Amino acid sequence: MKDKESFTAMILAAGYGKRLRPITDEIPKPLIPVGDRTLLENILLNIKNAGIAKFAVNTHHLADIISDSVAASSWNDSVTVLYEEEILGTGGPMVNAKEILNSGDGFLLHNGDILTDIDLGKLLNVHRSNPSNLVTMVMLDGPENRVAVNSNNRVVDILGNLGKEEGSKLYTYAGIACFSPKIFKYLPGQAENASIITAILNLMRENPESVAAYIPEGKFIWNDLGTVEKFIAVHKDISEGTLILPPLSVETKISLPMQPLQQQGSGRLFFRINAKNESPDKILMCASDDNVDFDRFTEIGDFLYKKQLDVPEIFSINPKNHTVIMEDLGDNTLYNLVKMCETRNEIEELYRKVIQWLVKFQVATYGKIVPENSGDAGEKFPLRLFDYDYLRWETTYFRENFLENYCKLEAKQLVGLNAEFDKMAKDTLTAPQVMIHRDFQSQNILIKNCEVRIVDFQGARIGHIAYDLMSLLNDPYIHLDKDLRFSLFEYFFNLLAETPLLFPLLEQKALRSIMAIVHPAALQRSMQALGAYAFLSMKKGKKDYISFIKPGLQILNETLQSRKEYPELQTLIKKLFLSSPECSD
Fold matches, 118-220 and 258-327: no
Report the alpha-carbon distance of residue 201 to residue 372 in Å, rounded: 59
Report the alpha-carbon distance of residue 416 to residue 427 in Å, rounded: 18
DSSP 291-357: -TTHHHHHHHHHHHHHTT--PPPEEEEETTTTEEEEE---S-BHHHHHHH--SHHHHHHHHHHHHHH
Report the alpha-carbon distance of residue 549 to residue 53 in Å, rounded: 53
If one looks up domain 118-220 in CATH, what number appears? 3.90.550.10
Question: Mean pLDDT score of the chain, rounded to an integer?
Answer: 86
CA angle 279, 284, 290 (to 5 degrees): 165
Q: Is the predicted pLDDT of residue 473 greater than 90, yes or no?
A: yes
> What are the structural domain ranges in the chain?
118-220, 258-327, 334-583
HEC profile for 37-66? EEHHHHHHHHHHCCCCCCEEEEECCCHHHH
- pLDDT attached to residue 34: 85
Sign of CA dihedral 490, 500, 445, 468: positive
Q: Is the predicted pLDDT of residue 264 greater than 70, yes or no?
A: no
Q: Is the predicted pLDDT of residue 2 greater than 70, yes or no?
A: no
The CATH class, in words, for 258-327 is alpha beta
Q: Please count the CA atoms within 13 angstroms of the CA of 220 that sit on its side-chain side.
A: 20
Is CATH 3.90.1200.10 correct for 334-583?
yes
Q: Which residues contact 219 (CB under 8 A, 6 or more apart)?
A: none
Which letter does DSSP use for residue 194 in this model?
A: B
Q: Is the predicted pLDDT of residue 278 greater than 90, yes or no?
A: no
Question: Of the ranges 228-232, 405-409, 493-497, which one carries the lowest mean pLDDT score?
Answer: 228-232
Share of the chain above pLDDT 70, in %: 92
Q: Is the predicted pLDDT of residue 345 greater than 90, yes or no?
A: yes
Which whole number is the average pLDDT over 31-36? 85
Q: Please count the CA atoms within 13 angstroms of the CA of 51 that sit on its side-chain side.
A: 14
Share of the chain above pLDDT 90, in %: 43
Residue 507 phi, psi dihedral angles, 5° rounding: 65, -175
Q: Which of 391, 439, 494 is nearest to 266 (CA)?
A: 439
Element (DSSP H or E) covering residue 83: strand 79-83
Give the C-alpha distances (Å, rounded to integers) separating 140 from 172, 216, 348: 5, 7, 61
Report the alpha-carbon distance of residue 207 to residue 135 in Å, rounded: 11
- pLDDT attached to residue 4: 44
Q: Is the predicted pLDDT of residue 279 greater than 60, yes or no?
A: no
- CB-CB contact of 382 with 373 (8 Å): yes
Cβ count within 10 A of residue 164? 16
Q: Which amino acid, residue 34?
A: V
Q: Is the predicted pLDDT of residue 583 greater than 50, yes or no?
A: no
Paired strand residues for 435: 462
Which letter does DSSP use for residue 510 in this model?
A: -
Which whole number is the average pLDDT over 48-59? 91
pLDDT in tens, 98-121: 888 888 789 999 999 999 989 999
Q: Which amino acid, residue 13?
A: A
Which whole number is the average pLDDT over 17-25? 84
Cβ count within 10 A of residue 373? 9
Which whole number is the average pLDDT over 122-138? 92
Q: Is the predicted pLDDT of residue 544 greater than 70, yes or no?
A: yes
Residue 3 phi, psi dihedral angles, 5° rounding: -85, 100
pLDDT in tens, 147-206: 999 988 999 999 988 887 777 899 999 999 999 999 989 888 888 888 999 999 999 999
